[in-house]
Structure 1
Amino acid sequence: MAKSEFIIDPSLLDFDNPIADIEAIRKFNPQRHEMEQLTAILCEDLQQNACAAYKEVTEHEFWVRGHMPGMPLMPGVVMLEAVAQLSSYYTQKHDLLGAAMVGFGGVDEVRFRGVVVPGDKLVLMVRLDKARRGRMIVASFQGIVGNNLVLEGCLRGIPIPIEAVTGQLAGGQAKATS
């Protein structure tokens, strides 16, 4: 794939000077521990509503032992989770949805075009194509290793009704103790 076809030109990404590390990401994303799928945010392009980040894929990832023994391949769903976290970070940082939390609303036209293995640096790029405040975001995304496209598609993000979820959880806990 030609560099001009990427959402953000990979040659512009400076891994030595990220704009947000894991602590800065945590200010906007609730995931912790093994569910954190971003290492750092590399850049933002506010005119294009795009950003790029990377995930340093190590041999210590939670999925390595079981997916698959002797041939650890990063699961597609984990790659999609990383894309969702990048989309959420950008959406929350710029308050595009007006929600306390952004959740996965769906994916369309997803294609996996290569593998990601421990030792790879998975670069993720998203471009918000549509943001309907209070309703939904729609973002095109790509994932690359080196200059090779390994994943692409379209993601939808939706507001998570935190109060309803916590109420539902509290109700479930009340039933479990009675």
Structure 2
Amino acid sequence: MMDVVQIQKILPHRYPFLLVDRVVEVEHGKAIEAYKNISISEPVFEGHFPGHPIYPGVMIIEGMAQAGGVLAFESMSGAEQDATENKVVYFMSIDKCKFRHPVRPGDKLVYKLNVLKHKGAIWVLDGKAYVDDKLVAEAELKAMIVDK
């Protein structure tokens, strides 16, 4: 388990763009489960949409990608992990993306990612997002760890 303070030691993102509140489980090199609590106080709800708040799909995908970044950094070996403060994860592609159900304030958005492929600095992840065990979004994400 990893709280937001520990997550901030790994990811460069900060409010309002840090989209992972807690990491529940990490299987190094294999999988991660994390979540974000969706609150009506999120700045994005001021414009998406007034009177009918829906959490944007792009934010769901970005949250998945951030969880994937935590997985990639946590999966590094000891010497590599020491150098993570000088590294950042770049998105390379998003494929097979589907949004299945809207996400609303009050929802707990659970990210579950599995490694499809990992070679060198490149990671390919199968990402799924759930609310109350209902699949709300899915995508195949490709990312690369690079020097800042």
Q: Report the TM-score when normalising by structure 1.
A: 0.75
Structure 2 residues not aligned, in runs of 5+: none
Structure-1 separation of matches of 2:43 and 2:19: 11
- In structure 2, give the amino acid aligned to 1:25: I
Give 1:1-178 correspondences, 5 Å limit: 19-46=1-28, 49-95=30-76, 100-134=87-121, 136-162=122-148
Q: Which has the larger radius of gyration?
A: 1
Residue aligned with 2:59, SS: helix
Structure-1 separation of matches of 2:97 and 2:76: 26
Structure-2 separation of matches of 1:40 and 1:158: 23
Residue aligned with 2:26, SS: strand
Q: % of aligned pairs identical?
A: 28
Runs of 4+ in 1 over 3 A off after TM superposition: none
Q: Are the equivalent residues in 1 in contact too, given 2:61–2:139 (CA < 8 A)? A: no
- Quick check: 37-46 or 147-156, which moved more? 37-46
Q: Could you tell me how far 1:158 is from its partner in structure 2?
A: 1.3
Structure-2 separation of matches of 1:63 and 1:27: 25
Q: Report the TM-score when normalising by structure 2.
A: 0.90
Larger RCO: 1 or 2 (CA < 8 Å, sep 6+): 2
